[in-house]
Amino acid sequence: MGESRAEGEQGQAGRRDGRTPWAVYLGLTAVAWGALVLVQGLWHDEVQILFRAFVGPERGEGLLSAITTPTRRLLRLPFALALASGRPVQVLHLLMGLSWLAAGLLAERLARRLWPDAPVAAPLAGALALSATPDFFTGAPVALGYQLSIVAFLGAALASLAWLQGGSRRALWAVPLCLTASLWTSDAAAGAWAFAPLLWAAAPGRTPGRARGLGALWVLSALPYLVLLLRQLTGQAGYFQRALVPLSAGQTARRWLDLALYNFTPWRWAFDRPAWFPAHDGVLPPAWRAALALGAAALACWALLRRPPAAGTGSSLRGGAVGVAAVLALMAVSNGVFVRVQLSDLYCRTHLLSRVFASLALARLAAAAWAGARGPLGRGLVRGGLGLWLALGLAGGLERQDYFAGYWRAHRPELDSILAQAPALAPGAHLLLRVPAHEHYLATEAGYLARAWASLLYQDPGVECRVFLWSEHRPTSCVPRAEGYECRGERSPDCQRLDGRETELLRYDRLVLLEYQPATGRYVLAESLPAEAGAGGASYQPRGQVLPQERRPLARALLEAGRGLA
């Protein structure tokens, strides 16, 4: 009687393992990505992409015009959609959250294909992926292009397995569509594309004859992208030449090893993450973050492992070892393509894809441990280990949200002060932003970001060529001349093509000088110029170059977003 009851419970557990635990996944996504989403704005290069989408129609650029590199022809689309919505910040964050959730769901589906004999591995893979937060850009719209590219690649990988194992023609047609979407949005999955056949070889129940046609389709779908990518890599100047840093063979090996191991050190994500810029004061107290992470992890662990596993499901790694080896190889490759990219030492962009493959491997190992656990003590140890891992990952996600929310709480008044001091610029007026030494990263930290923000806030594509950042932290300088400041450094390439000059003359009588005050975090209008401007400085009359104007709809949409609790 007792044995029959146990077998019945195990059968029910096996059937439940075949379902997607939506409540768990939504809860983990809400904590890892969405706990502070209402008090976040924009942070870094997503502003530049939004600006490119904004000025594109004025410059005759279409929705498929490339951004940053010739291969990123789909990157503009989500940002154009965000602009068209009238709520760009909210839409970009929503797309980031949906793509985060989608990556977890696809990890679950891949685990079902790779390890059908270990059904509990699938929901664990989804939960681990949703809680994996090693990347510096975790959850932030700055990584949206990468994240969408990764989701599309995972979709292509899943469709390829569906074809190999079940002969689904719909899945076969989905392969080139997903690959195109992935490769032409960003290069995040380019390395994994080349090694995807490892997944095919690890898929149980595959029909070998289908692999030949799939392989041909896999290569042909990527061929135009690869040709263009090769041209960029072998060129003399371009994005990749600027983005790559020289490393010796030893340095490359050490960094690659560090990137790979970082996938399995969740305590560093939560407590020892290297900082690109020092953090502002947090929005959510550390104790609250810890309580939220522990509570969500405990609930998720209970929901996923509340019943003993069905007999013989996943207790041996022998059958799943090939799949584990395949996903670990893809993890290493996904890290390897970023080894020589700038900021890889800070784990920026490096783990957005590798974390999914690492989660798949961990899920299969956890499934084997769960199946092999004996008695309440053994199962308690497995639950505790999984719960701790999930909690550390969620704590890392909350740390990232707090970091970006703290910065938006500082950036919003910084940007607001520009419009408060200069609501609109008179025709022909130039805005000069003077920034002294400071500790934290500014919204207007670099020339291209200052121009992007100003163009968006004034809702005027023509403002780009009338804004200059003069910062002690950037390779920019302004020298006083008889008629105005001669400024050099970080000029817009588009503006430089228009006038053919490396320097820019900002006439005193057309100048609006805003000086950044580190103590208050705001810009203030300079009523007069320093003595170094000479006699010509007397023509500086900034009030005459500033016009009264209500804030444009785009400025309100950008600055009113993320007020929330901040």
CA dist., res. 292 & res. 283, Å (int) = 14
**Average pLDDT value for residue range 258-264:** 98
CA dist., res. 101 & res. 12, Å (int) = 26
* pLDDT attached to residue 314: 57
Per-residue confidence band for 497, with pLDDT thresholds at 50, 70 and 90: confident
Whether 23 contacts 101, CB under 8 Å = no
Cβ of 449: how many Cβ atoms within 10 Å? 22
Flag whether pLDDT at 7 surpasses 50. Answer: no
Please list the residues that pair with 515 across neighbouring strands: 434, 524
Comparing 266-270, 533-537, 548-552, the range with the smallest average pLDDT is 533-537
N-to-C CA span, the chain: 60
The H-or-E segment that residue 425 falls in is strand 424-425
- Mean pLDDT for all residues in the chain: 92
Q: Which two tokens stand for residue 506?
A: 């900002």
Helix, strand, coil abundance in the chain, percent, nearest 5: 60, 5, 30
Q: Which two tokens stand for residue 363?
A: 């899920």
Per-residue confidence band for 6, with pLDDT thresholds at 50, 70 and 90: very low
The H-or-E segment that residue 470 falls in is strand 467-471
**Average pLDDT value for residue range 284-307:** 96
- Residue listed under structure tokens 């635990």: 21
**Average pLDDT value for residue range 286-292:** 96
Contacts of residue 104, defined as CB under 8 A and 6 or more positions apart, other chains included, come to: 25, 28, 29, 126, 127, 129, 130
Per-residue confidence band for 2, with pLDDT thresholds at 50, 70 and 90: very low
Instruction: Please state the three-class secondary structure of 136-169 as a single string.
Output: CCCCCHHHHHHHHHHHHHHHHHHHHHHHHHHCCH
* pLDDT attached to residue 312: 60
Cβ of 120: how many Cβ atoms within 10 Å? 27
CA dist., res. 475 & res. 309, Å (int) = 61
pTM comes to: 0.93
Per-residue confidence band for 203, with pLDDT thresholds at 50, 70 and 90: very high
CA dist., res. 206 & res. 197, Å (int) = 12
Per-residue confidence band for 186, with pLDDT thresholds at 50, 70 and 90: very high
Q: Which two tokens stand for residue 303?
A: 């929901």
More confident residue, 11 or 185: 185
* pLDDT attached to residue 3: 41
| Proportion of the chain above pLDDT 70, given as a percent | 94
Chain-centroid distance, C-alpha 343? 14
> Measured between alpha carbons, how far is residue 405 from residues 342, 374, 401 in Å?
24, 45, 6
Flag whether pLDDT at 282 surpasses 70. Answer: yes
CA angle at residue 38 from 36 to 40, to 5 degrees?
A: 75
* pLDDT attached to residue 513: 98
Q: Which two tokens stand for residue 265?
A: 């050190």
Flag whether pLDDT at 205 surpasses 50. Answer: yes
Per-residue confidence band for 13, with pLDDT thresholds at 50, 70 and 90: very low
